[in-house]
Structure 1
Amino acid sequence: QDPPVALPPADSKWRFADAAIDEERSRLVCVGEDHSTGKEPSNSVVAVSIRPGSDPSPPTVLCSGKDFYAAPRISPDGTKLAWVEWSHPSMPWDSTSVMVAEIGPDGLPTNSRQVGGGPTESCGQPRWSPSGVLHFISDRTGWWNIHKDDPAEGPVALRTQAAEFAGPDWGLGQRSYQFLPSGDIVCVINDPKQSGAELAVLDPTNGDLTPVHCPYSNIGSLSVCGGTLATLGGSSLKPSAVTFTALPAGPSAQEWTEVRLASKMSVGDGYLSEPQAVEFPTAGGKTSHMLYYPPKNQDYTASDAAPPLLVKSHGGPTGATSSAFNSTIQFWTSRGWAVADVNYGG
C-alpha cells in the first residue's frame, strides 16, 4: 500500500479545514487559508483535487471576498454548493449568511443566492437532506433552531422551540444534528430548563420530536453511517466518551457502546453529585438559569443546616454551563459544599 501523500505538499502556504467530498469531481471542497502573502491570511472556499495523478497544488478558489468561510457542503446530486460566510467585525454567533450556488460545468459556483442570515441573524451548519433540501441552523426565532430553505417562502423553521439545537460556532465542524437515511433528523437539544442535553429524532414534515434513550447529558459531534449513530457523550457522573448505538433509536432502553473514554478517572457514584436545573428572576424582568449541585458523599450524613454554597460564573457572553463531568465541582460537593453553576439571563 502506498504511503499517505500530503494534499497539497507539506511545504504549501495553504491551510485547510472543514472538508466535504465532491465525489463527482474527485475533489475535496473545504475552507482554505492562504498564508503566502506575509500579511493577514485570506480565507476562501477552495477545491483540492484527489484524482490519482493530478496536481493538488495550488487549490482552486471557489468562493472569496469575505473575511471568513465555513461549512462548504455539496448537495446529494452534486449540482449545488452551500456554505457560510461573514466578515469583520461580526463574530459567527452574531451575524453570518448561508449561501447556496449551482455548480457549473467548469466546477465553479454560479448563480449564488443568500438563503439565511443577515446583520442581526446567526446561521450555521448547512446540511442537505437525502432528497436534496438545504437545512441550516438560524437564531431568527431567538434560539438556534433548525430551518429549511424554501425558495418561495424563505427560511422555514422545522420546529420553533425555546431551546438551542446548536451552540456558538467557536470553531469549524460543529455537528449538533444529522440526517438519517429515512430523512428524519437526529439532533441535540439544550433546554435551559433541563439539567442536560436531550437527544431526539425530529420529523421534518411536522416538527414532532421523539426522544432517544441516551445515558448522556452532554452530547455532541453527531455522525450517522447507515444504521449507526456515533457521538461524543458524557454526563456529570463520568467523563466524555466516543460512543455509538444502532438506529432507528427510540425512547426505550437500548445499548450504547463506548469505544474510548476521555479520561480513565473512576469515582464511585456515592461521591458524585448530579445537577438540578434551577430558574430564578434577575434584572430587567428576565429569567436566569443555573445548575445546582447539592453536597454528596456516601461516607457522611449532612446536618439539617444549609450547606455552604460556592457560586461559579462562566466567562460568557456565548458560553453556557454544562452538565459534563467536572472534577473541580465534584471535589467541592464531595466535601460538603453545594455548587451553583450560573448561566446569565438573556
Structure 2
Amino acid sequence: MVKTKAPYGSWTSPVTSKLVTESGVSLGDLQLDLNSSHSTSTGPELAYWVERRTDGRSTICSSAGGQEVTDWTIPAHSVASKVHEYGGGAFLVYNGTVYYVNKDDQYMYMQSAPLEEPVLLGSHGRYADGSVDLKRGNVFCVHEDHAAGEGEGPAKFTNNPITSIVSLDVKSKTQKIAVTGADFYGSPRVSPDGKQLAWVQWNHPNMPWTSTELWTGNLSSDGLTVQQGSQNRVAGGNGVSVLGPQWANDGSLFWLSDESGYYHLYYGDQWSGLEGDGDTNVITELMTTDCARAAWQFGHDHFAISTNNKYIVLATNDPAKGDSLMFLKRGDLGTQPQIIKSPWTTIYGMKLSPSAKLYLHAGHQSHPESLVMLDLVAGGFTSAKATATPSSMKAVTESPQKSYGSRLFGFYERKVNQLLDTVDSYTEGGVQDAIQAVAQGTDVLVDTWYGDTSKVLRKSLDIKIGDGYVCRARHFTFHAHGREAYAYYYAPTNEDFEPMDGELPPLLVKCHGGPTQQTNSVIDPNILYWTSRGVAIVDVNYSGSTGYGKKYRDRLAKTWGIAEVDDVCAAAEYLVSKGRADPNRLMIDGRSAGGYTTLACLTFKDTFKAGCSKYGVSDLSVLAKETHKFESRYLDYLIGPLPEAQKEYYERSPCNSVDKLNCPMIILQGTADKVVPVSQATIMYEAVKAKGMPVSLVMFEGEGHGFIKQENVELALDGEFYFYSQIFDWSLPKDFPTNVADKVIIEQEVVV
C-alpha cells in the first residue's frame, strides 16, 4: 500500500473520540461466590464484577465460565462507593446474595436475584470494602460518617468524616461499630472460624503506602464487635506499609508488607497475642519486585489462597518487564516461587476458585484490560534451569515459538549483575515476548506455560481497527540529574500516512495521577487517538511512581514539584536528543496530581511549548485547606507539614509564579470535584489570562474527579487536540468534529 505524505498531526484516523468512548466499558471490582451451588470443585463458578457503561452507570454483572453475561443492578441504581472519594470495594457476594453500595445515596443494599428489587441493609453513612463472616453471614465494612457535614440526607458531606469498621446484621438490618479510634481503616476480614477480625488501620499524616498497621482482635459472642482489650498489632507501622490481609482456611493470616523495600508476602501461623508472633517472609530476599500497587482504592486482591490451603498465587507489579503470576506451594514457603507464564503483562485484582481457576483483571500491549480466567490445573507449568548467553538470546529472539517446546515469555532473574539488552518481538497474536538477556553464565529460571488455557470472559474494549494503526509501548530508561527514571514511548503509527521528508513528530508527554501511582503498557485507545494522528507519546513513570520499589517511591518525599518535574522534562529532552521528537512542538498533559506536574513544568521550566491540565492543582496551600480527609495530610509527605513548610508551598504553587510562564495551556475541570476543588482551575486560568497568554478553561457541569459522561470524555480528548492545533497551526484531520471550536475558546471560560 502506498502511503500518503502529510504533516504530523493532520493524519486521518479511525480512532476517533467516539470510538474511544463507545468501544467498551470500564471493568471494576471482581468477586467469586465461594459459598453457593456455584462453588463446586468442577465448576463453572459464577464470577461477578462491576461494569461501568458508556452512560456512566455502573452495574454488577455475572457469568458462569464465560457464558452469557447477566446484569444484576436495577436501572435506578449505580454501583459505586465514595469512601475516601476514590471508592472501590463497592460490592460483595455470599451464598447467592449480592451486597452493594448505591452511588447516589451511598447506602448498602442486598439482592438475591438479578434485577430484583433490592433490600436496604445499611443507611447510616458511606460503605466500602465489605466482607462476610462465613459462620454467621454478617457483613463487615469500612464506614464513613458524614453526619456532621453540610447538606441534607445522602448529600451530606464533610472534609473530616468519622471513619470506622462497622458490622451489619443481615437478619435484623442493624448496624454496630466494630472498631473505631484510628483515622482510617481498610480490609476488615473475619477468620474462617468466626472468632477473629483482621484489619488495616493508619493515622494522619500517613497514607496507605507510607505507614499502616495490621491488627487482629477477638469477636464478641454475637460476632458483631471486637472485644475490648483483645486488639493486637501484628505488623507494620513506623514507616512500613502493610495491606490486603487474607485468612487461609486453616487459620493462617497472610498480608503484604514493604519492610524489605518491596511489597512482599508475609504470613503468621499461630497467634498467641504477642506482636508479630510467627511472621515469616514468604518471598526470598533475592526478589526485587513489588507484589502490590498503591492502595488508592479498595477491592483489589494482589494474591489468592486456594481453599484447600495447598498453594498461593500472587502477581508481581513490574512496569519494566511486565507483571507475572507466581505460584507457591504451602509446603515450600520461604523458597523461590515459580512463575506461571501467560500472555498477560499487566495484572491486578484476582480470585481463586476451589477448582483452581484463577480469575483476574489483565491486559497486554495488544489486548485491552479484560476479565480473564486461567485454568491452573489444565494448563500446567514446568521449571527448568538454563544458562543465558548473548548468542542463545539471539536464537530465542529469532524463533521464540520454538524455545523450550512453547512460547518463551520471559525470564525470572536470579543474581543478575548486568542487564545486557531487551528485545521486543511479537507473536502472530500480537503478544509481546519480552526476552531479557543477562550476563553470560548467569543462572536464570525459565518457566513455560504449555497450552493457553486462559479464557477472556469480558473485554473492556472492542476496538475494531487494523493493526496498522496500533503502536505498542517501548519501556526505556533515561537519566535526570544523574538518577535513573522510566517511561513508555509510543511512536506515531498510521498505515495510511507517512510524514513529510525531514519532519520530526510533535511529542505529548503524559504525567499519571497520584502522584504515588503508575502507568502501564496495556493497549489504550486514548493513546492510539494521538499516535494514529501523528503525535508521539511518552508516558512517564517519574520519581515517586510505584512498581519500582519503596526507595524509588520515596524519591518524591518532600520533593513534589521538583523531582518529578525534572524527570518529565528529561524524558522529553532525551527523545529530542535521539531524534524522536520536534523540540518546538513539545506538549505535556496530566490528570489530578499529573495536572499539577503539568502546570509546574509549564511555569518553572522552558521545555514545553503548550500543555493541558485536567483537574490539576495550582495552589498547594488552598489544596491543603480544601481537599477531602483521605488526602488532607498527603502534602505533609510530598511537601512538608504546615506551617513549617509554608515557604515551600508558596514557591511550588504555579499560580504564584505566573510571571515565569511563557506558553499556552488548556484547563479541564469538573464542577463537582471534591478532590481538587474548582478554585484550583479558576485561580490558574485567571492568572494566565491576566498575563495575556493563550488559555482556555472548559468546565464540565456535574463531573467529579475524572470525567464519566460520554460526551464530556469525547470533548476533553478532542478539545485538547483542537487547542494544540490552534497553537501549532496544524491542519485538522478532515474527519475532526466541527462543534469542538464552539466549546474550546481561547481566553474564555466555557461551561458544558
Matched, 1:245 2:374: yes
| Counterpart Cα distance in 2 of 1:295 and 1:325 | 14
TM-score normalised to structure 1 length: 0.86
List per-residue Cα deviations over 1:237-275 (Å, max 9, x = no partner). Answer: 232222212233542232322222223322222321222
Match of 2:281 in 1: 156
Moved over 6 A (4+): 301-306
Opposite residue 256 of structure 1, the aligned amino acid is S
Equivalent in the alignment of 1:109:
226
CA contact (8 A) 1:333 1:339 kept: yes
Query: How many equivalent residue pairs?
Result: 337
DSSP 3-state at the match of 1:120: coil
Matching of residue 66 in structure 1 with residue 182 in structure 2: yes
- Taking structure 2 as the reference length, what is the TM-score of the superposition? 0.42
Within-5 A mapping of 1:1-346: 3-8=117-122, 12-38=123-149, 40-51=160-171, 55-57=172-174, 59-107=175-223, 108-110=225-227, 111-149=230-268, 151-152=276-277, 154=279, 156-160=281-285, 161-181=287-307, 182-194=309-321, 196-203=322-329, 205-227=333-355, 228-248=357-377, 249=379, 250=381, 251-283=449-481, 285-299=482-496, 308=505, 309-345=507-543, 346=552
Inter-partner Cα distance in structure 1 for 2:131 and 2:537: 43
User: In structure 2, how many angstroms separate the alpha carbons of the residues matched to 1:4 and 1:331?
Assistant: 41
Question: Is the CA contact 1:162–1:191 (under 8 Å) kept in the aligned structure 2?
Answer: no
Q: Deviations over 1:17-71 (max 9, x none)?
A: 21111122231122122333446431111111123xxx212x1211100111110
Inter-CA distance 200–269: structure 2 relative to 1 (3 Å threshold): farther
Task: Give the match's secondary structure for 2:244.
Answer: strand
* Equivalent in the alignment of 2:85: none
Deviations 1:286-335 (A, max 9, x none): 32122223444444678997963543332442111211222232233334
Cα distance in 2, alignment partners of residues 215 and 305 from structure 1? 38
1:7 offset after TM fit, Å?
Answer: 0.6
**Letter in structure 1 aligned against 2:303:** Y
Q: How far off is 1:180 after superposition?
A: 2.2
Distance in 2 of aligned mates of 1:192 and 1:90: 25
- Decide which structure has the larger Cα Rg and report it: 2
Equivalent position of 2:660 in the other structure: none
Contact 1:34 1:43 in 2 (8 A): yes
Q: Is the 8 A contact 2:492 2:535 kept in 1?
A: yes
Give the structure, 1 or 2, with the largest relative contact order (CA under 8 Å, sep 6 or more): 2
Q: C-alpha separation between the residues in 1 aligned to 2:367 and 2:320?
A: 22
Task: Mark the CA change 1:103 to 1:276 in structure 2 (over 3 Å): closer, same or farther.
Answer: same
What do residues 151-196 of structure 1 show as CA deviations (whole Å, max 9, x unaligned)?
A: 44545353443222111111111212111234322222122431x3
Tell me how far apart the structure 2 counterparts of residues 288 and 223 of structure 1 sit (CA, whole Å).
Answer: 33
* Residue 118 of structure 1: how far off its partner (Å): 0.8
Percent of residue pairs identical = 32
Gaps of 5+ in 1: none
Give secondary structure in 1 for the equivalent of 2:120: coil
CA contact under 8 A between 2:283 and 2:337: conserved in structure 1?
no
Distance 1:4 1:220, change over 3 A: same
Mapped partners of 1:304, 1:102: distance in 2: 73
Alpha carbons of structure 1 residues 294 and 159: separation in structure 2 relative to 1, 3 Å? farther
The one-letter code of the counterpart of 2:283 is L
User: Partners of 1:104 and 1:255 in 2: how far apart?
Assistant: 45
Map Cα deviations across residues 79-121 of structure 1 (whole Å, 9 max, x no partner): 2210011122221121211111222434332422111111311
| Pairwise CA distance, 1:211 | 2.4
**Residue 192 and residue 265 in structure 1: after superposition, are their counterparts in 2 closer, same or farther (change >3 A)?**
closer
Equivalent residue letter for 1:89: P
Higher mean C-alpha displacement, 162-171 vs 184-193: 184-193
Quote the RMSD (CA, aligned, Å): 2.7
SS, match of residue 23 in structure 1: coil
Residue identity in the other structure for 1:15: R
Change (3 A) 1:274 1:253: farther
Residues 70 and 85 in structure 1, CA contact (< 8 A), matched pair in contact too: yes
- 1:190 and 1:15 map into 2 onto residues whose CA distance is 30
Conserved 8 A contact 2:510-2:540: yes
User: 1:80 and 1:294, CA in 2 relative to 1: closer, same or farther beyond 3 A?
Assistant: same
More helix by share: 2
Decide whether the 8 Å contact of 2:300 with 2:349 is kept in 1.
yes
Please give the alpha-carbon distance, in whole angstroms, between the structure 2 residues aligned to 1:143 and 1:63: 29
**Conserved? CA contact 1:72–1:84, under 8 Å:** yes
Could you say which structure has the higher strand fraction? Answer: 1
Asked if 1 retains the 8 angstrom alpha-carbon contact of 2:359 and 2:372, the reply is yes
* Partner Cα separation in structure 2 for residue 304 and residue 126 of structure 1: 58
Which digits, 9 at most, give the CA deviation of each residue in 1:179-232, with x for residues without a partner? 1234322222122431x3222223451342322233322222211222222122
**Does structure 2 conserve the Cα–Cα contact (< 8 Å) formed by 1:163 and 1:190?**
yes
Structure 1 residue 14, shift from structure 2 partner: 2.9
Residues of 1 paired with 2:226 and 2:165: CA distance? 10
**Conservation of the 8 A alpha-carbon contact between 1:148 and 1:158:** no
The residue type paired with residue 323 of structure 1 is: S
Q: Secondary structure at the match of 1:323?
A: coil
Whichever residue aligns with residue 5 of structure 1, its letter is V
